[in-house]
Amino acid sequence: SSFERLLNKEKADGRAEGWKDGRAKGKAEAVIELLEDLGDLSDSLKACIMEQTDLELLKKWHKAAAKAKSIEEFEQAVGLVQV
């Protein structure tokens, strides 16, 4: 029936969204782990990273975190300079 098709589509959309959210969360955690090796992260920087859901941006941040020699260098590289 139309209702069953709609319900199945909603379930599939929900699974896809959950999968994407899970990938973003995992990538954000990986960025934070790399940065924690460089020093103490501010709560605001952690929150900013964890709230990001754009996987492409998180991939860029991950690469920047891997290359950075300091948290400040990372912040400058990705445009997250704390005020």
What is residue 82's predicted lDDT score, i.e. its pLDDT? 54
What is residue 14's predicted lDDT score, i.e. its pLDDT? 65
Burial of residue 31 (CB within 10 Å: 0-12, 13-18, 19+) is buried
- pLDDT of 83 > 50? The answer is no
pTM for this prediction: 0.76
Cα distances (Å, whole numbers) of residue 25 to 2, 3, 10, 19, 76: 34, 33, 22, 10, 22
pLDDT by residue (tens digit) across 8-59? 767 666 666 666 678 899 999 999 999 999 999 999 999 999 999 999 999 9
- 3-class DSSP state of 50: helix
